[in-house]
Structures are given as structure tokens and as C-alpha cells.
Amino acid sequence: MASHECKALGKAIRRLRIARGWSQQMLADHSGLTRESISAIENGRFDPVFTTLLRIATALDMKAYELLKGF
């Protein structure tokens, strides 16, 4: 994924997280990731692998394809 796409995906994840009323730490706890990883993904500084996206999608009670829709 190019940097532009990583930033767009990160913004989408941030919107979904905020819509749930979750902090980055709460998403990290639910996904088994670190808060630092969530921050890096949301800010487009980290290009997550599929398994990481799957963990985030599962934590947000979504399917991975729903999270990636439009990318």
C-alpha cells in the first residue's frame, strides 16, 4: 500500500474507533496490539500486514473486507 493509502486507511480506522467511543488504548486492548501500533497505523506511519488489519477488524466487530472496502 502506498503512503497515501496508508493514511486514508488510518483515518478510516480512527473514525471507526471514535464512533465506538474507544480510545487508542481500548482498541489496542481489544485487538491485542499496542497503543503505539494503533497510533502509527492511524497516522499512516505504519503499513499494517493483513493479520494486523484482521485483528483490528475483529476488535471493531467487522469483517476485514468491510474495513478495506474502498481501498
Determine the Cα angle at 35 with ends 41 and 16, to 5°: 55
- Please give the tally of structural domains in the chain: 1
Single pTM value for the model: 0.91
Q: What is the CA radius of gyration of the chain?
A: 11
pLDDT tens digits, residue range 11-70?
999 999 999 999 999 999 999 999 999 999 999 999 899 999 999 999 999 999 999 887
Please report which confidence band the pLDDT of residue 71 belongs to, taking 50, 70 and 90 as the band edges: confident
Total H helices, total E strands in the chain: 5, 0
Q: Which residue range forms the structural domain that includes residue 43? A: 3-68
Please report which confidence band the pLDDT of residue 9 belongs to, taking 50, 70 and 90 as the band edges: very high
Say what the pLDDT of residue 69 is. Answer: 87
How far is the C-alpha of 24 from the C-alpha of 30, rounded, in Å? 10
- The full length of the chain comes to 71
Say what the pLDDT of residue 2 is. Answer: 55
Q: What is the CATH number of the domain that holds 26?
A: 1.10.260.40
